[in-house]
Amino acid sequence: MNNIKRFGVSIEEELLKKFDELIEKRGYNSRSEAIRDLIRDYLVKEKWEVKREKIIGSISIIYEHDIYDLSNKLTDIQHHYHEVIISTLHVHFDEKNCLEVILVKGKVEKIKKLYDEISSLKWVKHTSISVTDII
């Protein structure tokens, strides 16, 4: 706790009221905890904009497994990016659809390229990416 610094923040009353409602809803013990999380989130988003930075995260994909050659294309793309892929989880969502979660770690530029290649494949129904880092 000796490396904790205190600082003051000026904020409009209505904005503070909404913030307090949100942090209570989410279960924060204090404004400080919520502000620390907001700052960390902002710093991770900033890192995402710098292509040379390293980051960790996950890419989620929903697709139909029986579409001709789609599974093979996804596998081929993943092999091409093996240096940033840590692990892959494959879940049979229902009789037709699969969920794949790809854990990634590496330079933002390479991870963005991987995400773009997967997202642009015909018949991939949905993709999302979540990135984080130790801040």
Domain boundaries of the chain, sorted by first residue: 13-49, 54-132
Which whole number is the average pLDDT over 124-130? 96
CATH class of 54-132: alpha beta
**Domain spanning 13-49: which superfamily?**
Met repressor-like (1.10.1220.10)
Contacts of 1 (CB under 8 A, 6+ apart): none
Q: Decide if 13-49 and 54-132 have a common fold.
A: no
Give strand pairing partners of 107: 54
Q: How many residues belong to the chain?
A: 135
Burial of 3 (C-beta count, 10 Å sphere; 0-12/13-18/19+) = exposed
Q: What is the pLDDT of residue 1?
A: 58
Which whole number is the average pLDDT over 50-58? 87
* Res 134 pLDDT > 90: no
Report the chain's mean pLDDT, rounded to a whole number.
93
Residues 56-93: pLDDT tens digits? 999 999 999 888 899 999 999 999 999 999 999 999 99
